[in-house]
Structure 1
Amino acid sequence: MFTSPIFCAIDRPDPSGALDLARSLEGAVGGVKLGLEYFCAAGPEGVRAVASEGLPVFLDLKLHDIPNTVAGAVRSALVAEPAMLTLHASGGSAMLRAAVEAKRQAGSSSWLLAVTVLTSLDDTDLGAMGIAGDTGAQVERLARLAVEAGVDGLVCSPHEIARLRRVVPAGIKLVVPGIRPPGSAGDDQKRVMSPAEALAAGADVLVVGRPITGAADPASAARALLQGAAGS
């Protein structure tokens, strides 16, 4: 699948800095995640520039709009040939199906991933938005909706991996942010877990940002995370 299950989140607006970081991580991670901050600054050309360094790119745009708009955005984003592309499961069945169909028409092999509940949210946040039940229940509801619509995978926090593995087909990929080394700060992530725990629970890809990008030697930090995940 990928040379490593760890993808580094490069959340920065400067293309040159992102390129330098991507180059430094070659061989230490399975790929890099580029989010809205980078995409708004650098656009599809910036995505292609990072991809040209040889690392798979996870394009994390979390698309969420009316079905026709999202379908068009999917077609445009897939021109950059990302390994993965995200949209919000909460956009609903029609939006998800439109995105899946746009990917099919494009003949793309990219994973179309549905984001369930952001790792920055917890039960209290969902209650304030009028969503009844606990976070895990909401993640499962959205996951079932997205899988029925035909997505390739889901984005969830590590706390929901085991629950989703019990209810979604085996071929559905689980891409998991909220990964932190034991003893490190969660920052703005509320539902976190160590790399080893997340992989043992059934994650396919781990998304790690600041523990790698904030290190003095990002490549060494990434390798240490992978060694820890493998239990060595």
Structure 2
Amino acid sequence: MSIYLRCIAVIFSLFTSLVQAQVIVPNNAISITFPKTQAQFALKNSGKLPIVVQLDLANRNDVYTTSNDGLAILYPRISRIEPGATQKISAMWRGNQDSSHYYYIRVNTVLEAELSRDRANASSNEGLTAEVGQAFPLNIISPSARPALSIAISDAQLWLHNSGASGDFIDAIKLQDGRIARVGKFMVPGQKMLLEGLDSSQTVSAAKLRKFGWVTLEEE
């Protein structure tokens, strides 16, 4: 990486932009379905000034936690986009193809002029505020992979555990007495999720997945 790009990366580690609305990002998930290993998407500068954009990946179940697994690659990670111009970005997968993986693509943006602004005056707090920018999902899909859900009990609390090789939205759970409780959360492979408002005195018999429908749950 050049000295110029390294300097930009350092700046982005400290600041994100107040001009997020200037960048148009995809309004739906970007998916790579095996055997394909690459997909493309576009970012557009809808403003009147040049911007610099940095991309990175976060964990799907926590947009504030950076993913460093090195399996999903975005290129270019840093781009300068002229007013009205569009930048094509490639998402590439270089891991195995026996399970699905889920990320957020985070888009952090700054006006080009801000990169050279003098910040030597420590008494001045004008300008940029550190915060996560726009984000949208990146799904790496193995068509043969499936979720595997079970109930785990810990400290008298109920946890839903996905030990399978695929994720899915958990729309609802069904209790043994027939009651339905809404969940409305996405679970990635390996994740354990607390079922709030329930305890070990209650029995959860099934879960409704958005893609795979109702599945019976066993206790671990």
TM-score w.r.t. the length of structure 2 is: 0.23
Between Structure 1 and Structure 2, the one with more helix by share is 1
**Bigger strand fraction:** 2
Larger radius of gyration: 2
